[in-house]
Structure 1
């Protein structure tokens, strides 16, 4: 297994080279420039959209704006914020967090463009159902000579959307933080525990995904906001104890990001680790979020782009930063642990009394990991349906449930290498089609924002549903 793991890590390292870093970060900068920073200037309007004022139940799609964002966030919030941040700091030092911030800042523009296209170029699957995602954007928006990119994305997404990171880290935190300390499991025999817990998790996931995408949206919109609120309260309690130290650690993050002697291989190494973990956290430019927002009930593509762009802010700039600061101020990052979620659990246990912090983290990880696994099934099924026909995609539920069990028993290093490789291959077609169709987005944005600025008496104006209807 060690040889396989090393091979997978070598593949991920090759794919996540400087060209991919330039594609993701440079692409986000390009989208921000050509949009004249409009996505950043319309955050208040994005919040108004999420309030439901612009929802129309008769619009095409499966999910409301808030459900689409919650479904997308349920795929990003979780292991990227808790285990991914810990892994980034463990491998790349504090400076890796800065490059995660960079992916989020430019990711706002990237998500605006990719998710506007998700609605603008929705296509129909072989059953005639309306679908969204990079593969449909490519098929509907580009000529046939580009259609191989759609196949590449769908095939890569079948790897990138596997539930193995989520179940792997959930199993680890339950074993090491909950069951072993309580004397309910033998720490020297992890395989048996992993197998049994994997079976339990597989049954839990199956109970939701066999209900379809609407049940996923229903569950996500109830789980994600409450878990984000609980997790933020926990982090703020820890940071309040160390409030005087925060400026120093924020400066440490910035300083180490540009240090030639930074942990993780100097400037290039820490940049690569930060961007890789940032992409895993917020998925801007990867394409998974495009599939979730492509299912939104709306006839205004720009409107869904505005909703989607809030993801990197919530996910990386807020939640990941809080996790990073908790890990730094408690000092656990200096203990040499790079096994992800356990480091984060140890950080919280340093401040919160007794084992309360560790148990709360275990609970949050349970919810975050579960919601992500629910959402990733939807992504994988859509990709399989694109490749072999939508009438066959329902069989993916059985394979996906089995893969939950597999992810619980394979090593963490192999898990991240598999997912990182899948994400790298997904990013290439997603960013390529977005570059090629960026002009369509800027034109649609100019039209939408022009209508938004018009008075309520103008019949062409963008207005809330309550005022738009006669």
Structure 2
């Protein structure tokens, strides 16, 4: 470990020394990065034409149809399970976790392939609480997509785009429930009580149960590769890149002391990220269960102040949303535009159907898989229905959106910053702090996602673990230095590619989720 630490320090030092010697480092990174990834991006976002001028990426169709199917299959679990989700977070059903015999699934095995009573290791059957699992996952979901993604969606579809965004968020709650239930149902716990879970495990073991052993293994490997790429892209480079761009803008843009020094900002973030991720999911959860509530409250308070100052305009804003949702402009620009732009850009925020969140939820302390699936469905509600809607209202009320103008992610962040500045001049500084926290929390959670996939492919051990984490920290620096367009194209492609193997597994294993839900509802019926 000491050798690895020394090697990482040397790599960081060499990288920053080279950055100081050239002013074209950012351009070189951007040029090489785009050339290496463009073919992959084009394939993932190949469009299916809807009209002569409008097309929709096939991956978005899969996500929406999948979410709709799960909503119907589980009879509106999105709304029907909401109250139960809140009660689980409140601890109403905690006694179910502390009493009775521990039920060991045949799918719970050790790293060596044995089947010990691993659930009782260290006196628990998981690593984090329901609340910590939720905040760890939320730290990767509530984030920059809520800020830039909303502005992009509204610029294309107008105020009516907000309606379709909320609809997508509501449907996504069902997908989140399914994948996170499976994550717990098929997780593995080693002899030290460390949990390993996520799509790669329920794809491999779940599909084996259904007689598709070879398919399951192949899909698990594909998902793991894409997840690792997604952790370096959307969960790392995209986050630090947007945080740097807003920090640079607020501190003076071209006059800023850090202008053109993305590598320096990235180096500082890499150091802080490295300090946290060394400790694993327990350390990450201890950080996120403090940062996530704080940053969400901070952002929501800022938005509420703007809405309070302009309270007379709120009814007009809602009327504009409803009227625009069903106008020709709203249907073409809102529905399709949100799916193509808003949902595409907010994929890191919502992630429903992608499968990544199930990795964090798998570590929860519970004997009932469906309990965590129910907790997980709160994510899209908080992220899309609440936070994104509030952002949209601020942008509409302050008149920051120019309908029909296609904007970039960087411009989206700046528009939201300007909207907050219209109420109180120093609010952009508050937003900058929130964005940096959003980026930081997303990176530490995605590092866990990526490591879980990495360990699935390359084995579990300290050498393997720290190799991944050193590479992850180096990508933090690269992400801050690369251009935003190059980063977002690659990030979107890697994350959306994860849905292909994940969705196949979700459709095949839906009956297993129904069994877990039935078992949990039977258990809580006594308490209710």
Q: TM tier, shorter chain?
A: 0.7 to 0.9
Number of corresponding residues: 449
CA distance in 2, matches of 1:403, 1:165: 10
Instruction: Name the SS for the 2:250 alignment partner.
Output: helix
Deviation at 1:93, TM superposition (A): 4.2
Give the match for residue 467 of structure 2. Answer: 395
* Structure 1 residues without counterparts, runs of 5 or longer: 457-462, 464-470
Give the match for residue 322 of structure 1. Answer: 390
Instruction: Name the SS for the 2:498 alignment partner.
Output: helix
Please tell me whether the aligned partners of residues 285 and 427 of structure 1 are also in contact (alpha carbons under 8 angstroms): yes
| Distance change in 2, residues 1:94/1:306 (3 Å) | same
Please tell me whether the aligned partners of residues 149 and 343 of structure 2 are also in contact (alpha carbons under 8 angstroms): no
Give the match for residue 223 of structure 1. Answer: 291
Matches of residues 246-325 of structure 1 in structure 2 within 5 Å? 246-257=314-325, 259-261=327-329, 268-325=336-393
Matches of residues 433-448 of structure 1 in structure 2 within 5 Å? 433-448=505-520
After the TM superposition, list the runs of 4 or more consecutive aligned residues in structure 1 that deviate by more than 4 angstroms: 5-9, 15-18, 124-129, 254-267
Please tell me whether the aligned partners of residues 127 and 193 of structure 2 are also in contact (alpha carbons under 8 angstroms): no
Please tell me whether the aligned partners of residues 149 and 341 of structure 2 are also in contact (alpha carbons under 8 angstroms): no
Residue 278 of structure 2 corresponds to residue 210 of structure 1 = yes
Task: Determine which of 46, 53, 60 is the counterpart of 1:14.
Answer: 46
Give the match for residue 72 of structure 2. Answer: 33
| Distance change in 2, residues 1:201/1:284 (3 Å) | same
Deviation at 1:74, TM superposition (A): 0.3
| Distance change in 2, residues 1:46/1:437 (3 Å) | same
Please tell me whether the aligned partners of residues 200 and 219 of structure 2 are also in contact (alpha carbons under 8 angstroms): yes
| Distance change in 2, residues 1:157/1:125 (3 Å) | farther
Please tell me whether the aligned partners of residues 407 and 415 of structure 1 are also in contact (alpha carbons under 8 angstroms): yes
Please tell me whether the aligned partners of residues 78 and 171 of structure 2 are also in contact (alpha carbons under 8 angstroms): no
Please tell me whether the aligned partners of residues 75 and 373 of structure 1 are also in contact (alpha carbons under 8 angstroms): yes
Deviation at 1:211, TM superposition (A): 2.1
Give the match for residue 451 of structure 2. Answer: 381
Instruction: Name the SS for the 2:91 alignment partner.
Output: coil
Residue 141 of structure 2 corresponds to residue 71 of structure 1 = no
Instruction: Name the SS for the 2:147 alignment partner.
Output: helix
- TM-score (ref. length: structure 2): 0.79
Deviation at 1:72, TM superposition (A): 0.2
| Distance change in 2, residues 1:260/1:393 (3 Å) | farther
Residue 243 of structure 2 corresponds to residue 170 of structure 1 = yes
| Distance change in 2, residues 1:92/1:148 (3 Å) | farther
- TM-score (ref. length: structure 1): 0.88
CA distance in 2, matches of 1:9, 1:93: 27
Please tell me whether the aligned partners of residues 163 and 322 of structure 2 are also in contact (alpha carbons under 8 angstroms): yes
- Cα RMSD for the two superposed structures: 2.7
CA distance in 2, matches of 1:413, 1:241: 35
Cα distance per residue 1:260-316 (max 9 Å; x no partner): 546986854443223323433211111110101011111100110111011111111
Residue 471 of structure 2 corresponds to residue 409 of structure 1 = no
| Distance change in 2, residues 1:341/1:221 (3 Å) | same
Please tell me whether the aligned partners of residues 129 and 364 of structure 2 are also in contact (alpha carbons under 8 angstroms): yes
Give the match for residue 434 of structure 2. Answer: 364
CA distance in 2, matches of 1:324, 1:395: 41
* Structure 2 residues without counterparts, runs of 5 or longer: 1-29, 49-55, 99-121
Deviation at 1:125, TM superposition (A): 7.5
| Distance change in 2, residues 1:430/1:255 (3 Å) | farther
Please tell me whether the aligned partners of residues 92 and 274 of structure 1 are also in contact (alpha carbons under 8 angstroms): no
Moved more, 332-341 or 381-390: 332-341
Moved more, 120-129 or 228-237: 120-129
Deviation at 1:37, TM superposition (A): 2.1
